[in-house]
Structure 1
Amino acid sequence: MKHLIDLDDFSLEELNGIIEQAVEIEKNPMAFHGRMTGRILGTLFYEPSTRTQMSFQTAMLRLGGQIVGFDDPQTASVSKGENLKDTVKVVSNYADIIAIRHPLEGSAKAAAQCADCPIINAGDGGHLHPTQTLTDLVTLMCEKGRLDNLTIGLCGDLKFGRTVHSLIKTMLRYPNNRFILISTPELTIPDYLKKAIEQANGSYTEISSLEEALPLLDVLYMTRIQRERFESLQEYRRQKDVYKLDCNKLTHAREDLKILHPLPRVDEIDTDVDDDPRALYFVQANHGVFARMSLILHMLGTDDPSPVMAGQILDRDCANSRCITHQEQYLKHYYLDTPSGPACEYCDCHE
């Protein structure tokens, strides 16, 4: 089976093909209606979602398929104590493909180990969100015309922001992209991502000022400060109002700047910015439907399988308290060899 845990699971040729097909679908969606007739998408959403869940549902319905699943674990057998393995094992017998969102990191990788159908990672904790990144790539291709030679500013919660992590990892695969990382010291990107940029001979600059970064950017990727990722409400309140984009700040930005945001927003982008033609976050959400239509077509149309686990089993616990292995005790602890030492294959945590 072909799983999507991380966009690295796809070759660059595959990824570009999915993007090109998404652009084609957006131009003529009715030409693709009925391609998934008789097929069923399972949506297992252990965390709240609006855009991701509904865009997956819309994508499958527009392709002529059907949907089963839940958007609140309290309405499913999870509330009775059912583990992830049993839920996925059962639903993968009902559905042809599953999209799963879960608050613990590495959950999609864990689900893929036991599923009898392809798994799509729709967000695993603060780790990765590959289908949002696919949406971002389709947006940039449609609105910017290229995926290389871009200066990309990422602002806000870069530590827990799974959309940020996936976007950086994927944009490293395209030449001459530069990252400007705008955050407080407490919310900078994880070390494993900094090492990934360095190993790919990429370029990044860390700064704390949004105003200083704006004149340099081709793309600004704003993110909200995520209350659900903080251990203390006090720390969340201390961080949440640091970065706010408003029309006054945008007077210093380029005319061809593209402003993206994975949404939902709280107050990090003033609503007056919505009328600026450079603001694309609602357009971006629309592109997400066509990105996911293309992804479903690709995954259910390929016979090129992807391996689930490639590391070795070690008798040690993951140091990341948010890793799925701490909840799902039956999981074997797989580790990958990296230049920085063993890394948990579920959540990328380095010891």
Structure 2
Amino acid sequence: MASSTLTAPVMQKGIHGWNPCARISSNARVNSHRTLNCPLSMSTVRKPHFFRAHPASINPPHVSASQRYSLDTKKFPVSCAGKFQLDDVIESQQFDTDILNGIFEVAFEMEKIEKNSPGSNILKGYLMATLFYEPSTRTRLSFESAMKRLGGEVLTTENAREFSSAAKGETLEDTIRTVEGYSDIIILRHFEGGAAKRAASTATIPVINAGDGPGQHPTQALLDVYTIKREIGRLDGISLGLVGDLANGRTVRSLAYLIAKYKKVKIYFVAPDVVKMKDDIKDYLTSMGVEWEESSDLLEVASKCDVVYQTRIQKERFGERIALYEAARGKYIVDKKVLDVLPKHAVIMHPLPRLDEITVDVDSDPRAAYFRQAKNGLYIRMALLKLLLLGW
């Protein structure tokens, strides 16, 4: 019998999900957790029942009980029983509404996990590595908290740009190949756009993009959409005002990609000239049939919106162009005047940190959702860790 390279059907890694039809050589290196027996049986797939109720203490007072968490139940488009459709989380374009609904269901379940409960140990024995080449408070700490709340352990580098071998000239690819030998999943924040894609194409374990320069921040977009659903009670038919640094803000870019998946959405862009939303996002929204409009009048936009999403002007993206930064900073401020015209059901969101673009007297208004938004990041990231490491 002639010798030949045996092949076996396995899941092959790519940033847009696992390909059940792919075949790779059996003598290739494949992590044991990547090789699956795939009977294509749907009998063991957990069907989402979606949001049943929510503790009144967390619900914003202006959303009725009938509005909260009423997502349509749909069968997930999974190709193998229990397997999450994505192997990495790199960009918002990876998701469809079925996957989003499933993630939100798991996130809601994560809110119920208490210390020392069975669910608090589902990731026991797993190690997460956080590689942050840029500063972070909420993203890094919420990922680390998420892992520990599920029983896992964390290997962390708070400033990998300065305190890792990157300072000696090591490439990102070599760092990823090294770190994946110590961990089961990598959370990466990097100062270069496209870095997360490069890491995902190198790694044989899951990679989550925690922000790549001016590129994307998909987990922020996920928690933003989850927060909108919780606060407003719907995602279809909303009006969203994106305010501030829209040129450099990876959060607004990712949110625009994600919210475009819903029906009859209207987006307003309010930004200083130097940081207006880039054409690639506008073109994408147009191609998706999403209505958008640019405006210089924040009060007028706020009076029409369900969500005002404020962002800070990012000084670190301006380099030596300090005069341009100073001209842009402070042009659009969410204050009591904005609250006066904002609809009673609407909310104000912000990815944080803030400087002076939302005045502190806004914090006490029940429509100020940004700290609730930040807390939702914990549950979304718990859900993603569970799904990427264990599946549905």
Q: Distance in 2 between matches of 1:145 and 1:158?
A: 26
Quote the residue 1:10 is aligned against: 95
Deviation at 1:10?
3.0
**Alpha-carbon distance in 1 for matches of 2:386, 2:200:** 19
1:320-348: CA deviation from partner (whole Å, max 9, x where unpaired): xxxxxxxxxxxxxxxxxxxxxxxxxxxxx
* Partner Cα distance (1:208, 1:115) in 2: 44
CA distance in 1, matches of 2:248, 2:222: 19
Cα pair distance change 1:32/1:224, threshold 3 Å:
same
> Which moved further from structure 2: 104-113 or 12-21?
12-21
Corresponding residue number in structure 2 for 1:27: 112
Specify the alignment match of 2:368 in structure 1: 279
Judged with a 3 Å threshold, the aligned counterparts in structure 2 of structure 1 residues 289 and 111 are, in CA distance, closer, same or farther, namely same
* Rg larger for: 2
Of 253, 259, 262, which residue of structure 1 is paired with 2:348?
259
Report if the CA contact (8 A) 2:139-2:210 is conserved.
Answer: yes
Question: In structure 2, what is the Cα distance between the partners aligned to 1:283 and 1:208?
Answer: 28
Gaps of 5+ in 2: 1-12, 14-86
CA distance in structure 1 between the aligned counterparts of 2:155 and 2:94, rounded to whole angstroms:
25
Structure 1 SS opposite 2:210: strand
Contact residue 274 and residue 324 of structure 2 kept, 8 A: no
- Deviation by residue 1:14-55 (Cα, 9 ceiling, x = unmatched): 221011111122134445211100001110000000000000
Tell me which moved more, 229-238 or 201-210. 229-238
RMSD: 1.3
Length-normalised TM-score, structure 1: 0.84
For the 8 Å contact 1:42–1:95, the answer to whether it is kept is yes
Provide the C-alpha distance between the structure 2 equivalents of 1:182 and 1:60, rounded to a whole number of angstroms: 37
Q: Partner residue of 2:131?
A: 44
- The question of whether the paired residues in 1 share the 8 Å contact of 2:214 and 2:250 is answered with yes
Taking the TM superposition and a 5 Å limit, the aligned residue runs for 1:336-351 are none
Following TM superposition, by how much is the alpha carbon of 1:208 offset from its aligned partner in structure 2, in angstroms? 1.0
CA contact under 8 A between 1:3 and 1:9: conserved in structure 2?
A: no
Other-structure match for 2:336: 247
1:82 match: 170
Alpha-carbon distance change, 210 to 31 in structure 1, aligned in 2, over 3 angstroms:
farther
Aligned residues: 303
Written as runs of structure 1 = structure 2, the 5 A alignment for 1:118-137 is 118-137=206-225
When residues 65 and 266 of structure 1 are mapped into structure 2, their CA distance, relative to the original with a 3 A threshold, is same
- Structure 1 residue 195: Cα displacement: 0.6
1:185, distance to aligned residue in structure 2 (A): 2.2
| Contact 1:23 1:138 survives alignment (8 Å) | no
Distance across 2 between alignment mates of 1:181 and 1:292: 28
Q: 1:148 deviation in Å? A: 1.3
2:256 alignment partner in structure 1:
168
User: What residue identity is the alignment partner of 1:50?
Assistant: T
**Identity score, percent:** 42
CA distance, structure 2, for counterparts of residue 281 and residue 11 of structure 1: 25
Q: How many Å apart are 1:69 and its aligned residue?
A: 2.5
Bigger fraction of residues in helix: 1
Unaligned stretches of 5+ residues in structure 1: 304-351
Mapped partners of 2:300, 2:357: distance in 1: 17
* Contact 2:228/2:234 (8 A) holds in 1: yes
Spell out the pairing of 1:78-117 with structure 2 (5 A cutoff): 78-117=166-205
Q: Is the 8 A contact 1:23 1:142 kept in 2?
A: no
SS in 2 for 1:265: coil
Partner of 2:228: 140
Q: TM-score, normalised by structure 2?
A: 0.75
Query: Aligned partners of 1:32 and 1:203: how far apart in 2?
Result: 42
